[in-house]
Amino acid sequence: MLSPVFFPTPASIPPPGAGLTLKTPPNLPVHLHPLNPLDFLLRAAQIYPDKVALVHADVEYPVSYTFAVWAQRIQNLAYALIQAGINPGDRVAVIAPNSSVNSL
């Protein structure tokens, strides 16, 4: 069972064209994959948008996300941090239990 539809807050919705994109150098040989964890997620969201990527079933109301929904939630979080004034290189702390629900 997939999670209910995700509705981001208006402040976390990036404007058109401000989305996260894969940045691979031109003429990159096919056998090289210089991807970081975010690139892996974005690539999976492009290739397998409707496949389940994350399941947290050990709670009263189980939650699951497809690769597309998970990538969108991460993009919304990234944009919300930018809107809050967080810049590349800034440190952000997250204090949360070790759980798949906190994977964002």
Residue 97: which pLDDT band, with cuts at 50, 70 and 90? confident
C-alpha 8/C-alpha 76 separation (Å) is 7
Which helix or strand (DSSP H or E) is residue 68 part of?
Answer: helix 67-83
CA distance 16 to 85: 19
pLDDT tens digits, residue range 17-75? 666 666 666 776 666 666 678 888 888 888 888 999 988 877 787 888 899 888 888 88
Model pTM score = 0.64
CA distance 72 to 20: 9
Would you state the pLDDT for residue 101?
A: 63
Tokens of 33: 């994959």
Return the pLDDT at 2.
44
Taking a C-beta distance cutoff of 8 angstroms, is the pair 67, 44 a contact?
yes
SS3 state at 13? coil
